[in-house]
Amino acid sequence: MTFATPADNSSGSNLHALPRLWLLRHGETEWSKSGQYTGLTDLPLTAKGEQQAIDAAPKLADLDFGLVLTSPLVRARRTAELAGYPDAEVTEDAHEWDYGDYEGRRSADIRTEDPGYLIWSQGVPNGETIDDVAARADRIVSRVKNGGIANVLLVAHGHFLRILAARWLELPPTEGKHFLLGTAAVCSLGWDKRTPAIEHWSL
């Protein structure tokens, strides 16, 4: 999928009008703490995860978001609420990778059966393909890049946001493997002049 580049006249002031997509990963859950794949299982935040969401708020407080989006899963919606965005728009496109048969399993345990296993190249049995996830990410990226809103916030999930970052950069979704993202991390996707770029990662 090719994304339109927002128009600008290459002046410094107008470049600031290009849309930026801010990312907030949800806070800690029991499964994120243990390293288990958590796709559509709707786990709540731990007490630490709730505090992480509260602590993320000051990192975003000076920004005026014209649109705030969240995954429908409770761990993301609660993170949005605690970070100061209780009225975030829920989008089904932002849910985590459906891990199929690997839901609730740890990659370290899967590698005891398949030592070479890597989700980015081998995917998951009976779940979404990485291209399925990328297609959902592309719809959000297209909405932001072509929506005319200066700052958009998306509250979602680790693998999904890493794939979305790759797609913002117009890279294959597998390149998300290079972007580590901890719980409640804040990032921003923007521009180097007219080239999509990562402006901040894991603030």
In this prediction, residue 88 carries a pLDDT of 98
- CATH number for the domain spanning 47: value is 3.40.50.1240
Determine, yes or no, domain membership for 13. Answer: no
The yes-or-no verdict on residue 9 having pLDDT over 80 is no
In this prediction, residue 8 carries a pLDDT of 46
Residues classed as catalytic: 26, 96
Chain Cα centroid distance, residue 1: 18
* Sheet strands (E) in the chain: 20-25, 67-70, 89-90, 151-156, 186-192, 195-200
pLDDT digits (tens, 9 = 90+) for 68-92: 999 999 999 999 999 999 999 999 9
Determine, yes or no, domain membership for 7. Answer: no
Confidence tier at 7 by pLDDT (50, 70, 90) = very low
Determine, yes or no, domain membership for 14. Answer: no
CA separation for the pair 178, 9 (Å, rounded): 33
Task: Extract the tokens encoding 70.
Answer: 């969240």
What's the mean pLDDT in 104-129?
Answer: 97
Q: Which domain holds residue 94?
A: 19-200
Considering the chain, what percentage of its residues have pLDDT values greater than 90? 91
